[in-house]
Amino acid sequence: MYRLAHLSDIHLGPLPELSIKELATKRITGFVNWHRNRAKSMFGDTLLHLLDDLKAQRADHIAVTGDLVNLATRTETIAARLWLEALGAPKAVSVVPGNHDAYVPGALKRACQEWNLYMAGDNAHPSTEKRFPYLRVRGNVAILGVSTAEATAPFFATGTFKRGQAIELARLLESCRALGLFRVVMIHHPPIAGSTDWHKRLIGKQFFSKVMRDAGAELVLHGHTHLDTLYWLDGRDGRVPVVGVPSASQSAGSSKPPARYNLFEISGEPGHWDLVQRERGLKPDGSGIGWVRQRRLLHDGTAEAVPETEDAAPARDED
């Protein structure tokens, strides 16, 4: 059995001090939003406790589906690299960027340079500019990362999935299918119509849907909405589960679900894969971390409950 952990929308805080030049961009709107909203609910010990718990589960690999930072300043991007290094080795952690990682022009290029080792395919040259989609094979699992991140106008958080990336993703998925691998696609924006507000939507989702119909996949992971969601897309060999996860930094008491991560258990063989999703996160009252939901995701587009696993929350030393 292969265990794949999934977390997203880290939004590492607090914000660094910003210069007048840095604020004279779209960052001013994000700066105001942070201090009005996110500073109250997304900065504290929540992320630290969640990661302690995640590491105790001993996942084989960790997938991070974007928005590591807030305003994509140089200071934040470097801090995110250090955070990734603490999370795990590049071979054990895969990342795709989110809209906040590409907040202003030039930010995405800097993020790709700083986080290069976590977003490079198995056969990629370190200096390769065209890095998406990338492919990593871990055991009998293929991890494919695509990018929808781009700088947008103020008050917009859209993403784009273009034809060129779709063609290459389909080619990689086909080759992995021929090798009998369980295929996981990582993407930041949900490739589902109506899954988020119009100004935060994914442009080009029709290309992604066509890739699923033509080449297929066994699992799609996304972030962006800060919600625990399960959608389905028609695939080549059955319906494909599309799973979202709340922000890993969200404290309890907000309108959004508190911090959570997914733990997927992958077993079986081609044509007979077994996929169990176990969600673990902060309790609604903030009293601790525990199991939230446990279910098996079936090829016919349904999910069934599975027995709860034993709680393996890590013990912490008291001060």
pLDDT tens digits for range 38-73: 544 555 689 999 999 999 999 999 999 999 999 889
Instruction: Compute the average pLDDT of residues 213-224.
Output: 98
pLDDT tens string 227-280: 999 999 999 999 999 999 999 999 988 889 999 999 999 999 998 999 999 999
Specify whether the CB–CB gap between 263 and 295 falls below 8 A. Answer: no
C-alpha 306/C-alpha 245 separation (Å) is 19
299-312 b/e (C-beta count within 10 Å ≥ 16 → b): bebebeeeeeeeee
Architecture (CATH level 2) of domain 2-305 = 4-Layer Sandwich (3.60)
- 3-class secondary-structure state, position 86: helix
Backbone angles phi, psi at 145, to 5 degrees: -110, 130
Amino acid at 216: G
pLDDT band at 192 (very low <50, low <70, confident <90, very high): very high
